[in-house]
Chains A and B, each alone.
Chain A
Amino acid sequence: MIHRNVDAVVIGGGSAGLAAALALRTAGTTVAIVEREPFLGGILLQCIHSGFGLHEFRQDLTGPEYAARFVGPVREAGIEVFLNTTVMEIGEEPTGRSVIALSQNQGVVRFATRAVVLAMGCRERNRGNVAIAGTRPAGVLTAGLAQRLVNIEGCIPGRRVVIVGSGDIGLIMARRLTLVGCDVLAVVEIQPYPSGSARNIVQCLNDYSIPLHLGHVVTRIEGRDRVEAVRIAPLSDGRADAGKERRIECDTVLLSVGLIPENELSRAAGVPIDEGSSGPHVDADLMTGAPGIFACGNVLHVHDLVDYVTEEARRCGERAAAWLSGARKDAMLPVVPGANVRYVVPNACAAGRKNVFYLRALVVKNDALLDVRVGGRQARSQKLSHVQPSEMIRFSLEPDAVPERPAGEEAVVEVSIR
């Protein structure tokens, strides 16, 4: 067994973990990153397409290039990195926290630490989460797994492919599989609008004439050993219209039906989870309900832009370092979602400093208005040319927006879209 004593342990070496660890190290704390894969970078390494870094670097980078911008500095900063090492448990100690991990080559690694940063990312919803009828043949896999197979392992999961769900990963894979010689026969989306970005609809589907069936569901997957076909039907009044059902012969079904923050470890450590975001409930310092445990990136809430992951994780590292150095917590107000808002992260707002928030809308709307109220009084109103659930919205409140001593016990910050 290996023992390590560090100020902070970062769980996960994706874009969130890398930025948080760097911020912690820059502030003078000792940090270790624990990553279960044999490399740093997380999901970015399988995202070989471009479109990363437009905010953070004002450049159009691929996933691996974006990751490298952080892996180099992490190496130079003297941050200890444990690869092929999976965290099994976060425990409580009289002096702080323990983190127990299992290394492929070295066995058990035990950290005694004072702060933990959760940066485990998210996982994909699979067939069990969406309930599609039919047999259980081989050939049904998530889009992200397909992406890993094609871009990292170098194998192609099938020939004739139907994609269920129009999230960005599914769209990216529609193009990717087409370019490696597969026939992508259809993308089937239950909503009347696509859930991926317009850019990906155009460049991944329209460029290759891949049909997108909006307002359609997969009614059945057929095949004994391997997928042989799927049946799809349009929805009318919320139910599949059996009269208009049709059969598409294929050997592979890709699921791109959403991502869920990966919080088994957090739950086991007693971290309270927010229902709206499915990630930990966090205060304005991105500290969870368990003292000394912080969270950032996709484990906190699912991001669509890596640039915002980096921004959030850097702030998380900075606040964790401040907490470690014994800084007094600022006064905080709870932040709650109002009309048409699914969630707002973080769940609290600190008085007297700038606060950055991310939210997801519940509606699709042009010319909407973001309405932020502090204790019922409007603190910010901002025009939004277009909102939709699949596009995260970022906004900030200036230091004077929240009074140092807010009037009334029940004062909250309410965020709505009108």
Chain B
Amino acid sequence: MKENTAAGLEMICIACPIACRLTVSQSGPDVTVTGNRCARGDAYGREEFHAPMRIVTAVIPTDSAQFPCAPVRTDKPVPRDKVRELLQKLYATRVALPVQSGDVVITDFDGARVIYTRTLPPDEVASIGEPGAESKGDDKVS
């Protein structure tokens, strides 16, 4: 475990709140993780070194004046390198309301789906602010 830190990749383990400072280095086919206090840190360091993955969330513009943004997410992590590419796709999208939380926006991006995370009604039926209007299908999130 006496790896040359100067050649290693420095990172912070986020598998628990202690946040150990890790150094991940490679010599030939061997990858070593140092600075971790436990085995989870070793696993985290390896994954971050080989293929860091992230859940992506964003909003896409809608045609509505009342709810101009529809929030979306990937249903599983995607490679960190591809986050920008995915965002370009999403920003080029424009959606007409209504949308339903869980409905699919993009069926396959690197194995992940992009789904809506909020149900939004079309503008017309949104009669807002009436006391007791809860049952009238107004603009409440659901």
A residues near B (Cβ < 8 Å) are 2, 4, 38-41, 45, 48-50, 60, 62, 64-65, 67-68, 71-72, 75, 79-85, 103-106, 109, 150-154, 179, 197-199, 201-203, 206-207, 366, 385-386, 388, 391
Contacts and interface: CB of A to CB of B under 8 A. Distances in A.
A64 B57 CA distance: 12
B128 interface: yes
A85 B129 CA distance: 7
9 tightest CB-CB pairs across the interface, nearest first? A84-B129, A198-B19, A64-B118, A154-B68, A48-B71, A199-B14, A81-B134, A154-B69, A38-B128
B55 interface: yes
Contact of A65 (B101, B132, B139): B101
Interface in B97-142: 101, 117-119, 128-135, 138-142
A199 B142 CA distance: 29
Interface of B: 11-14, 16-19, 52, 54-55, 57-59, 61, 68-69, 71, 73, 80, 83, 87, 101, 117-119, 128-135, 138-142
B129 A103 contact: yes
24 contacts: A2-B131, A39-B141, A41-B141, A48-B57, A60-B55, A71-B141, A80-B132, A80-B134, A81-B133, A83-B128, A83-B129, A83-B133, A83-B138, A84-B129, A105-B129, A109-B131, A151-B69, A152-B68, A154-B68, A198-B19, A207-B54, A366-B18, A385-B16, A385-B17
Nearest to B119: A68
A134 B65 CA distance: 37
Contacts of A83: 128-130, 133, 138-140
B140 A62 contact: no
B117 A48 contact: yes
B69 A71 contact: no
Contacts of A203: 14, 54
Contacts of A198: 12-14, 17, 19
Main SS of chain B's interface residues? Answer: loop
A196 B139 CA distance: 34
A77 to B, nearest CB: 10
Given A152-B69, A179-B58, A198-B14, A38 B141 contact: no
Contacts of A68: 101, 118-119, 141-142
Given A83-B128, A83-B133, 4 more contacts: A41-B141, A62-B71, A151-B69, A388-B17
A75 B117 contact: no
A71 B140 contact: yes
Given A65-B117, A385-B16, A39 B139 contact: yes
Contacts of B134: 75, 79-81
Contacts of A104: 129
B39 to A, nearest CB: 15
B73 A50 contact: yes
A227 to B, nearest CB: 25
B67 to A, nearest CB: 8
B131 A103 contact: yes
Contact of A64 (B18, B71, B83, B87): B71
Contacts of A39: 139-141
Contacts of B19: 198, 201, 386
Contacts of A75: 134-135, 140, 142
Given A50-B57, A104-B129, A153 B68 contact: yes
A202 B119 CA distance: 31
Nearest to A64: B118
B17 A197 contact: yes
Nearest to B38: A385
Given A48-B71, A199-B14, A67 B131 contact: no
Nearest to B66: A38
B73 A45 contact: no
Contacts of A48: 57-59, 71, 73, 117
A385 B12 CA distance: 16
